[in-house]
Amino acid sequence: MIHNMAYFGVGLITLMFLIFVMNRRNKSIQELAPGILITTGIFFTFVGIAIGLVHFNADNVDDSLPTLLNGIKTAFWASATGVFFALIIKILDIFDLTRTNESSAVEGMSIDDIVTYQAKQTDVLVEILRSIKNMHSSIAAQDDSSLVSQIALLRDDSNKKSDALRQEFRDFAATMAENNSKIFIEALKDVIKNFNDKISEQFGDNFKQLNQAVEKTVIWQENYRNQMAQSIETMTLIASMLESQAHDYSIIVSNSAEFESHVSAMGRSLEEITFQREQLQSMIHSLVNFLESASDSLPLIGQKVDDMTERLVKGMNEATEEVQKQVTILDHELEIALKRSLEGLGQQLASLSNKFVQDYTPLTEKLREVVALAAKQR
């Protein structure tokens, strides 16, 4: 874009120069043309520099600096073209003024004056030629005072200054990058610190409560694991105790069957004893009747029979009492055994219930604490 602007400026200045040359007879144009050309060249120079600075990137000096220098170098061509064409117009104006003066001077001269004037003109031309030779020698000489040498020195100096300027730009860019990096890092550290402080202020208590809740949950899990192990152990013990109770009950049931058989046998014995007693009573009654009928003749027999009857009745009563006593003892023992078994079962069930209450009461409390903490977190 800078090159296009320079070409456009050079073309425009050339077009203006041609217009001014064709109309140089106009005194206004003759006076204003050089200034206009120079001003236009300077304008395009600044435009080129401005465009180069617009595209200059301070963060990428190595790539932007050559573009800027090329833009400045190219933009100066417009200024040089304007100055060059202004000088040409000035020179043309000088030659036009000289020819006008010469024409006015020749019109009133004689031949001698003309010859003298021509001699002077020849001397002037010789002097001009000498000056041109001196100028040529000063331009093309090999010493340091020549224009070519000065231009070469100026170019070397310009290159050195350009290199120095480029190095300065690089150092400046490096310094700026380092400073910007340090500033950015410090700012980032401050932002992170402020962020951490805000996070600590806003969420510190919540995190602490959450950590406490997690710790309590871990403790609860450990207690729950221990309680479960204890519960399993208790259940195992209860199962063994229930098995023992079942075994005892089976023994009681089997003994009850034996007791029932004994009672049945004793019942049959009592029935037989009762039957025998009834028969004996009937026999005794018959014997008594017989003895009463023969009481006068057999008083001794009656007495013996009475004694025998008394002993039999006494023996039967004693047997009956013994059987009743055995039945009472058997009933009492059965009642005691059943009562003990039921009491043992009740105690086992009570201890089991108490154990469940003891095991699951802390669990319920822990669950309540966890629910309360969850409600607080919400």
Q: What is the pLDDT of residues 77-92, one digit of tens each?
A: 777 777 787 788 777 7
- Residue 49: per-residue pLDDT: 74
**% of the chain with per-residue pLDDT over 70:** 43
Contact 89, 24 (CB under 8 A): yes
pTM higher than 0.75: no
Last residue of a domain, which of 104, 121, 153? 104
Is residue 205 packed enough to be buried (19+ CB in 10 Å), middle (13-18) or exposed (0-12)? exposed
Split at pLDDT 50, 70, 90, the class of 376 is low
* pLDDT of 160: 79
Of how many residues is the chain composed?
378
| pLDDT value of residue 156 | 76
Q: How many C-beta neighbours within 10 Å does residue 141 have?
A: 13
99 with 235, same domain?
Answer: no
Residue 231 lies in a domain: yes
Task: Give the pLDDT of residue 106.
Answer: 45
Express each pLDDT in 150-208 by its tens digit. 666 767 776 777 777 777 767 777 776 677 667 767 777 777 777 667 766 666 666 66
> Do 213 and 92 belong to one domain?
no
Looking at the fold, whether 229 and 359 belong to one and the same domain comes out as: yes
Q: If you write DSSP's letter for every residue of 361-373 in order, what string do you get? A: HHHHHHHHHHHHH
Q: Which of 69, 87, 104 is the last residue of a domain?
A: 104
Alpha helices in 55-146 (DSSP H): 61-106, 111-140
Is 181 among the domain residues? no
Q: Does the pLDDT value for residue 36 go beyond 70?
A: yes
Examine the domain organization and report whether 77 and 211 are in the same domain: no
Q: Are residues 344 and 215 in the same domain?
A: yes
Digit-coded pLDDT (tens) for 344-359: 766 766 676 666 666 6
Q: Among residues 69, 88, 104, which one ends one of the domains?
A: 104
Specify the pLDDT at position 177.
67
Residues 236 and 365 in one domain: yes
Residue 126 lies in a domain: no
- pLDDT band at residue 371, thresholds of 50, 70 and 90? low
Q: State yes or no: pLDDT of 148 exceeds 70.
A: no
Domains in the chain, number: 2
- C-alpha torsion angle, residues 165, 167, 169, 171 (rounded to 10): -140
Q: What is the pLDDT of residue 40?
A: 80
Q: Is 116 a member of any domain?
A: no
Region 288-304: mean pLDDT is 60
Pick the more confident residue, 337 or 11: 11
Q: Are residues 224 and 356 in the same domain?
A: yes
Residues 96 and 227 in one domain: no
Q: At what angle do helices 2-22 and 61-106 cross, to 10 degrees?
A: 10
Rg of the chain over CA atoms, in angstroms? 73
Would you say residue 13 lies in a domain? yes
Q: In which domain, by residue range, is 336 found?
A: 205-377
**DSSP single-letter state for residue 26:** S
Q: What is the pLDDT of residues 214-258, one digit of tens each?
A: 777 778 777 767 777 776 777 677 667 667 666 665 666 566 555
User: What pLDDT sits at residue 296?
Assistant: 55
Residue 225 placed within a domain: yes
Q: Residue 153 domain-assigned?
A: no
Note whether residue 193 is domain-resident: no
pLDDT band at 46 (very low <50, low <70, confident <90, very high): confident
**Average pLDDT rounded to a whole number, residues 58-82:** 71
